Structure 1
Amino acid sequence: KGPLYKILLTCTISVITSCCLYCLPWLATCAPCPINLKEECPTIGRSGNFKNFQCPAGQYNDLASLFFNTNDDAIRNLFSSGTDTEYSIPSLLLFFAGIYSLGLFTYGVAVPSGLFIPVILAGASYGRLVGTLIGGITDLDPGLFAFLGAASFLGGTMRMTVSVCIILLELTNNLLMLPLVMLVLLISKTVADGFNHGVYDQIVRMKGLPYLEAYAEPYMTHLAAGDVVSAPLITFSGVEKVGEIMHVLRFTRHSGFPVIDAPPFAEVPELCGLVLRSHLLVLLKAKVFTKERVASRDQIFRKLGAFDLAKPGSGKGLKVEDLDISNEEMEMYVNLHPIANTSPYTVVETMSLAKAAILFRQLGLRHMCVIPKTSA
């Protein structure tokens, strides 16, 4: 999608979010302020835990108190103990539905909006709702249910256990909660794993981003590396025609290309290195061309320095559209040996795909060349 679409989508969701935050509190009823409060109730014209929102004097709107507070204050209020009657069941239900729905829509917008706090809010409101519903048959505080509800949502959404456990324990500073939190995280993660992957894995797949799992899939043990290579293979000669390089750069998106030496530069075709797309663009920009197909290095070393081939600190570097190559220069040749990586990572085509995938993942490679077992 284009930038205009992303801007309009963001503005639309912002308007919808603002309307929901303002309109939903009208559905809640006013409640009298709790007795023996140390803070002012209701709070008008400043931040506070009890929002008036069109209520008479001495009363507050519990749903507005959740929506119009900062996220950290709302979480603190939901986790607080001794506040059994501050939030009604309809208000908690509306707050949970609103936060959950808005979180689903907002997370996909092209703005850096997080998911951690909305998940905690949704889980805390859900947990407090359950605690309020069963308050007549248990003496447990609804704040405890809110805390465990947030833990369950985090465990089921993020699929993180140890880190979430530490974060939640730091919020409460109560080590006695450790067994309960561990149990809730274990159950929520186990149940969620039975349905799908975590939310971040789902987003990666929806966006089509290249991602490799830490471990090889079981089916990979039955395949060889040569079984998954794509064809046709795009390669360059050690001394290649400029027009051929320009054609490949225009019609492919590969970031690396094998360089194959063939006669007269080698007795038999052999892999002599790997050249990066960015280095090819720099080389073509410098126009270090020759009319004859000769492997001359001196001219390239005189015209290009080490910093010319370094990765740009900002921006995306050169593009094919930035090059100005004439028709006469298209028929010239360029030597790729000086800019080629002469020792790329290679595997034999008969290597197990599982081993090749683990090697690629653990070494953090960008390219891996699959070569024939024998060459003639």
Structure 2
Amino acid sequence: MHIKINSIDTNFSTLSDSSSIPKQKTDLNNSELNETNSRRNSNDGTISTNKNVSIYGYDQIKHKKRIRKRESTVSGKRVAYENFTTIDWNHDFAKDRNRRNKVKKRKSLKGRIYLIYDACQSWILVILIGIVTGLLAAFIAISADWISDIKEGHCKSGFYLNRKFCCWGNPGYQCPDWEKWSDFFNIHHQFLKGIVNLFMYTFIACLATFIAAYLVREFAPYSAGSGIPEVKTILGGFVIKKFLGMRTLIMKCIGLSLSVGAGLSVGKEGPLVHVGCCVGNLCSRLFSKFNNNSARLREALSAASAAGVSVAFGAPIGGVLFSLEEVSYYFPMKTLWRSFLSALTGALTLQLMNPFRSGKVVLFQVAYTRIWHIFELPIYILLGIIGGLYGAFFIKMNMKVVKLRKFSWLKKYPIQEVFVVTLITSIISYGFLFLRVSMTQLISNLFRECSELESDFGGLCKKTQIKSTIFMLLIALVLKIIMTIFTFGIRVPAGIFVPSLAVGALIGRIVGILMQLWQESHPDLWIFSSCNPDVQCVTPGVYAFIGAAAALGGVTRMTVSTTVIMFELTGSLSYVLPVMVTVMVSKWIGDAFDKDSIYDALIDLNQYPFLDSKRDYYSDAIVSDIMTKVDNLIVLPAIGLTINDIENILQEYPFQGFPIVNNTYDKLLIGYIGRSELRYTIDQIEDIENVDGTIQCYFTKKSPDAYGIGDPNQQQKFLDLRPWIDSTPYTITPNYKVVKVLELFKKIGLRHVIIVRRGKLVGLLNKKDLLRYLSTLKTE
């Protein structure tokens, strides 16, 4: 009764074996269980066992199992989305329109009050997301700073205090309350002091990352990494259950504090986007119109990602632009406003918490008092070129390491790998001041002018030690690049924002020092004619700032959001133009090698079904060249299948949906039904006692008797599956251009499109087939 297929799944799983999709039971409310079987249709004798399934002539119902919650729209009823499938954007938007229409039709006072509440739900939600994200960001910042400082000593007045709070009011290192570990153990020999301090530094770092890696492996595997590639995929419509759950959120916050505080070459800023989206997902459960609608949920997640960047950098406008430019797939104007409010609320909450006790929420705020000169523009462009080259190099090398980690024996020992990486990083970092301090402190010192530095950090301002300072910066740069390449991707929460800024700041500071030496050695050159002889002409800290923007742009390929984030960090409007030029050049250079950012590269590596709306493809192919032809499809006839037939199809084929035709000869398209809906109805019928597996199923509007099935002298039993059919699926002709179909998938959010010729089914094109074809274009 059906035609064998090779591929028809409208969605595909890259995170599990697609051939073994779990059969999940779903929930049925008690009120639904109590629906009597007395609801008879006087015309055909159908008895409705509940709102969704009807059996012709069947009188008794008894449910044994709990069944999945159902959803309904005008285009056919739906069950909850399975894991590793794509949401139906059109269905969810239609469902939300129906809900709004029902709310607006309520003319009573209670209905009008509910209408006001319904309109306010979105704003209440984004405010709540911002507040909770800000609180979590403050917790992560305080705990990470404490772990970072506890590696070198402890506070005698309070073990819970980090060095900054312990030494409040005591500038520099003159702090009697802060005790190094060698003094704590009463070690007096100078050599033994160094050994004890190194041991404690390394031991605490390894212990912290071991705990983080263990928590990730045992309790929340999804909390590892930055989470931004998966967030982009989820916002694109893919379903990854538990990725934004409570356990993932808790382990992400704890693990992030441990991994950043341990001194690994990672940052907490990117993972805060994942934290914000976890908060958004959990808070959305409080509001039915978001909890019961996956498309609306993704609007809330877009606002949550903006809040994550806002609290990470103290840059609310940059957070909104980051959500728009980098992670969001569907970003209407209303989402822009909500993202702005969420980012603003998060920044205000962080400001009130004041975790740095500086009255500021930015990581490293500097204010440059001198303007830039036109002769510096070529050097800024050079920094952009270097940043683009670094971005391309880092992505290529890190992907090689990630592939080695993913497809070799290393994947069996994630905790051991984390321990080894931490051990090597700690031993190397302890001997270099530029690597021993936290990366935020390193970047802050590299950005600052010499007059703003509380002390001469690493000899940056000693002109008598210029050569040795440049040499130490070069060593720190090389080591930082190597450590970042091998660290990003290990099984702990880790981000790439701050390491990229640190690498760029080191490059920029070196270039700035060399530029300053050149100008001071040859002040009479014509290119320096615009310099005031009584004022310092070249500021090395500015070059570090520009270089950091270039490196971040080269790795992430962001332009507008990077510029705004850097501007919000410094507040120096006069340097917006150099940053814009540098970031744009960095993107151009990086795109010349590969247009993928580090997040896009990880999406491709993990084979997530993400259709990037920013990519352009050129092809002369037509749909018939890449579609799955009808001879290779499982096609369900409108009448003639039994419950046993459908059960066998579901067990034998792991595909996510099936076209429905009038019969297997004419193949006139009637509609489309998803696997989840079939699974739901079959499970529901199987829960009824004494059900005959030979009960006929029908998908057509015609009465089953019209087909002459069964003995007309006996009452027959039929399973009505019409409510679950999408009777108006998107259809196109076989000669449709692939590039046009691509626009349909991008802008409408299709899961699949059915190809027909004069109403007859000829094939099916799903997102999987389209992505597979686009990957061949990229290879070419």
Question: TM-score, with normalisation over the residues of structure 2?
Answer: 0.36
After superposition, the Cα gap between the structure-2 partners of 1:333 and 1:116, relative to the gap in structure 1 and judged at 3 Å, is farther
- Counterpart for residue 435 of structure 2: 67
Of residues 424, 428, 432, the one that matches 1:23 is 428
- Counterpart for residue 698 of structure 2: 295
1:238 and 1:337 in contact (8 A); partners too: no
2:522 is the alignment partner of 1:121: no
CA distance in structure 1 between the aligned counterparts of 2:728 and 2:576, rounded to whole angstroms = 51
Of residues 630, 633, 641, the one that matches 1:233 is 633
* 1:265-314 CA distance string (max 9 Å, x none): xx9432222212222221222125652425399xxxxxxxxxxxxxxxxx
CA distance in structure 2 between the aligned counterparts of 1:278 and 1:131, rounded to whole angstroms = 61
1:350 and 1:373 in contact (8 A); partners too: no
SS across alignment from 1:273: strand
CA distance in structure 1 between the aligned counterparts of 2:493 and 2:651, rounded to whole angstroms = 32
After superposition, the Cα gap between the structure-2 partners of 1:168 and 1:161, relative to the gap in structure 1 and judged at 3 Å, is same
Q: What are structure 2's unaligned runs of at least 5 residues?
A: 1-14, 17-216, 219-409, 461-468, 520-536, 701-716, 762-780
2:504 and 2:548 in contact (8 A); partners too: yes
1:6 and 1:109 in contact (8 A); partners too: no
CA distance in structure 1 between the aligned counterparts of 2:430 and 2:514, rounded to whole angstroms = 21
After superposition, the Cα gap between the structure-2 partners of 1:246 and 1:116, relative to the gap in structure 1 and judged at 3 Å, is farther
Letter in 2 for 1:137: W
Letter in 2 for 1:341: D
2:767 is the alignment partner of 1:345: no
Cα offset, 1:248, TM superposition: 4.1
1:17 and 1:102 in contact (8 A); partners too: no
Cα offset, 1:203, TM superposition: 1.5
SS across alignment from 2:459: coil
2:417 is the alignment partner of 1:12: yes
- Counterpart for residue 86 of structure 1: 459
Letter in 2 for 1:143: G
* 1:325-370 CA distance string (max 9 Å, x none): xxxxxxx985533322112122222222211110111011112212
- Counterpart for residue 191 of structure 1: 589
2:634 is the alignment partner of 1:261: no
Larger mean Cα displacement after TM superposition, 183-192 or 111-120: 111-120
* 1:175-224 CA distance string (max 9 Å, x none): 010111111112111111111122222222111122324255111xx222
2:611 and 2:746 in contact (8 A); partners too: yes
Cα offset, 1:105, TM superposition: 2.5
Q: How does 1:152-163 map to 2 (within 5 A)?
A: 152-163=550-561
SS across alignment from 2:628: coil
2:556 and 2:599 in contact (8 A); partners too: yes
2:643 and 2:697 in contact (8 A); partners too: no
Matched residues, number: 300
SS across alignment from 2:729: coil
Of residues 186, 202, 205, the one that matches 2:604 is 205
2:755 is the alignment partner of 1:356: no
Of residues 100, 106, 130, the one that matches 2:481 is 100
CA distance in structure 2 between the aligned counterparts of 1:21 and 1:333, rounded to whole angstroms = 70
CA distance in structure 1 between the aligned counterparts of 2:642 and 2:481, rounded to whole angstroms = 58
1:226 and 1:349 in contact (8 A); partners too: yes
Cα offset, 1:235, TM superposition: 2.4
Greater share of residues in helix: 2
Cα offset, 1:255, TM superposition: 2.1
SS across alignment from 1:218: coil
What CA RMSD, in Å, does the superposition of the two structures yield over aligned residues? Answer: 3.1
CA distance in structure 2 between the aligned counterparts of 1:227 and 1:373, rounded to whole angstroms = 19
2:669 and 2:759 in contact (8 A); partners too: no
Letter in 1 for 2:737: S
Cα offset, 1:252, TM superposition: 4.1
Larger mean Cα displacement after TM superposition, 93-102 or 361-370: 93-102
After superposition, the Cα gap between the structure-2 partners of 1:199 and 1:130, relative to the gap in structure 1 and judged at 3 Å, is same
Cα offset, 1:243, TM superposition: 4.5
1:21 and 1:67 in contact (8 A); partners too: no
- Counterpart for residue 367 of structure 1: 752
Cα offset, 1:130, TM superposition: 2.5
Letter in 2 for 1:262: N
1:78 and 1:146 in contact (8 A); partners too: yes
1:275 and 1:336 in contact (8 A); partners too: no
- Counterpart for residue 37 of structure 1: none
- Counterpart for residue 217 of structure 1: 617
CA distance in structure 1 between the aligned counterparts of 2:508 and 2:608, rounded to whole angstroms = 34
- Counterpart for residue 171 of structure 1: 569
After superposition, the Cα gap between the structure-2 partners of 1:251 and 1:159, relative to the gap in structure 1 and judged at 3 Å, is farther
Question: TM-score, with normalisation over the residues of structure 1?
Answer: 0.70
1:238 and 1:336 in contact (8 A); partners too: no
SS across alignment from 2:413: helix
1:258 and 1:275 in contact (8 A); partners too: yes
CA distance in structure 2 between the aligned counterparts of 1:110 and 1:130, rounded to whole angstroms = 35
Letter in 2 for 1:204: I
1:81 and 1:143 in contact (8 A); partners too: yes
* 1:1-26 CA distance string (max 9 Å, x none): 99696573254134313422333443
After superposition, the Cα gap between the structure-2 partners of 1:182 and 1:199, relative to the gap in structure 1 and judged at 3 Å, is same
After superposition, the Cα gap between the structure-2 partners of 1:363 and 1:296, relative to the gap in structure 1 and judged at 3 Å, is closer
1:216 and 1:354 in contact (8 A); partners too: no
1:79 and 1:147 in contact (8 A); partners too: yes
Larger mean Cα displacement after TM superposition, 103-112 or 199-208: 103-112
CA distance in structure 1 between the aligned counterparts of 2:652 and 2:499, rounded to whole angstroms = 43
Q: Once the two structures are aligned, what percentage of the paired residues are identical?
A: 27
CA distance in structure 2 between the aligned counterparts of 1:190 and 1:140, rounded to whole angstroms = 27
Letter in 2 for 1:375: K
Larger mean Cα displacement after TM superposition, 168-177 or 99-108: 99-108
1:259 and 1:272 in contact (8 A); partners too: yes
